[in-house]
Amino acid sequence: MSDIAPTEAHIHSSFYRFVALAEPEAVAARLRELSQPDTGIGGNILVAPEGISAAIAGPAQALAAFEQALQTDPVFGGAFVGMVFKHSACTTKPFTLIKVHTKPEIVAFGVPGVSGLPDASKPDTHVSPTRWRELIKEPDVLVLDNRNSFEFKLGHFEGAVDPKVAHFRDFPAYVTEHADEWKAKGQRIAMYCTGGIRCEKTSAWMQDQGLDVYQLDGGIVSYFEALPDAAADWKGECFVFDKRIAIDTHLQETPTTAEDVYAGEPDEAWRLARARRLDPEPGNR
Q: What is the mean pLDDT of residues 124-133?
A: 98
Q: Considering only CA atoms, which of 81, 196, 73 is closest in space to residue 129?
A: 196
pLDDT digits (tens, 9 = 90+) for 159-178: 999 999 988 999 999 999 99
Q: What is the mean pLDDT of residues 194-201?
A: 96
- What gap in Å lies between CA 33 and CA 93, rounded to an integer? 22
Q: For the chain, give the mean pLDDT.
A: 90
pLDDT digits (tens, 9 = 90+) for 100-110: 999 999 998 98
Report the CATH superfamily, name and number, of domain 126-277.
Rhodanese-like domain (3.40.250.10)
Query: Could you tell me the pTM of the whole model?
Result: 0.87
R_g over Cα of the chain: 19
pLDDT digits (tens, 9 = 90+) for 12-56: 999 999 999 999 999 999 999 999 999 999 999 999 999 999 999
Structure confidence at residue 9 as a pLDDT band (50, 70, 90): confident
Task: Delimit the domains of the chain by residue range.
Answer: 10-102, 126-277
State the catalytic residues: 193
What is residue 89's predicted lDDT score, i.e. its pLDDT? 85
Predicted confidence (pLDDT) at residue 185 exceeds the cutoff of 90: yes
Question: Which CATH fold topology does 10-102 show?
Answer: Alpha-Beta Plaits (3.30.70)
